[in-house]
Chain A
Amino acid sequence: MHPFKIFIVEDDRLYGELLTFNLSLNPDYEVELFTCGADCVSNLYKNPSAISLDYSLPDMSGLEVLERIKKYNSEIPVVIVSGQEDVRTAVHLLKQGAYDYIVKDEDTKDRLWNSMKNIRENLQLKMEIIELKEEIGKKYEFNSIIKGKSNAIMKAFKLMEKAANTNITVSITGETGTGKELVAKAIHYNSSRSKKPIVTVNVSAIPKELIESEMFGHEKGSFTGATSRRIGKFEEANKGTIFLDEIAEMDLNMQTKLLRVLQEKEVTRVGGNQIVKLDVRVIVATHKNLTEEVRKGNFREDLYYRLLGLPIELPPLRERGNDILLLAKHFIDEFCKENKMEKLTLSASAHEKLMKYPFPGNVRELKAIVELAAVMTNTNTIDAEDITFSSAKGMTDFLLEENTLRSYIQKIIKHYLQKYDNNIVLVAEKLDIGKSTIYRMLKNGEIEI
């Protein structure tokens, strides 16, 4: 931590030297004495951590010095040390932003010492919060959060970067478990709003009758149970980002209210009249096809167009080819590190087993599967038998479709092409068919790449 730099501004040199001597007894403090206000102001570039300011100075009043300090940097805590016990002056100075008001008497030393101690502790807490925020920011760096090299994920990655560089509304679609919330957070923490909060609202998890008050807040007594004023998620996210997950689950009545808030960029709490101006970046996500929901009349078309913004589609894991192995290795490494286990590797049979599975639960399911496998193995290698799939949904769905054999063939080839980044030679080899079969199907338009 940087030294805690204190400025003492005191025209009585004896008293100033005394305070300097006293505070300098703490080896963490770096104390500098000024005998007039102008000297203090001209040395503010040294960025003091705190200032002890005599109220009566020869060249300017304590209030004037306080104002100049606050103008330079409003974050610098200023403790006023005054020879007069005047409550009105003290209240006025505290209202102007003074941190504390101390009267010169036999307790001055202890009170100033305590004030500086409190300021330092607050500063340390602030630093810790900044460091934690930076940590979170690092956690959500694009290349830390998005693991994968497939074309599908690289496309999403490029869009995320574009989203982070602007304030555009973002709509994220993708199956459950593809990482929609992580992507929303990554966009936020890589944007200019990263120092402000990201507030997540899972629309499907809030009862219909509570969602308005949850989103927009309420005034005391606005409904039974509203015992105090409460600010809503939009206000909480002001200057930051609001992430509305499962937006397709919002009922039509609420959609109308949301549309109004987005259009007007302001919110009125339930039961209140006061208008609160908003500067909120909106990111929405759904696992449903919103166009389809609009067509069915479940989602307002005008809201759809307002929310569409930059659409980012997260591919299902089964379409990400070798990303499955890359992610599996990443999750295993993380799990071993967190649990202080020796490094584990995946055997060839485990590779094969993972690559054949359709992962209906996507990345979330893969993580659970490989973590369980890491626990189940008795050696340093995870084998096929250590891997247990809890779901066969994908395969069951596939078979339940009752397609023609031709259609099944088309689906299988299409699936493999997506899985192996449209590498026709590799797909032909995997399926043990001729390359010409695939080329012919492409030419006939039976499949597309």
Chain B
Amino acid sequence: MPILTAALAPQGALVQVLIGLDAPSIMILRTALRPVPSPINTEALLDTGAEVTGVDASLIQRLDLPIAGTVLANLPAHGGFTTAFLHDASLTILHPSGNPRDNLVVRHLNVLALPLAALGYQAVIGRDILARCDFLYSGPRDRFRLRY
């Protein structure tokens, strides 16, 4: 199982992620000979309080992620009970080794559109993804560890 360790940032446990369209949406676009937007590389906060993974609304707009419903979810760090559009997406946590086999790839998930850009990261990784991981937050060592 890959293990990702890194220093804590002032914002918390940040990881590099790739956010893009999910596989079914890519297939639909390719079949229709329409362009597929490239995934966007950005930073995401590991947030054990968030029930659902969220992505900044501007990224969702740039990627034109298709609408997949609406939800009422608890995101304590982002205003508590929150309701917003859900969108289909894929999300890859990039391992610092650079080896693609060490990445955590989530091919389909629903993400909430959130206003995050001013916070120093453009995504929050919630418990829907963290449920697949062991996450150790070591304050005294100023580091975190994610195993998946």
A and B are partners in one complex rather than unrelated chains: no
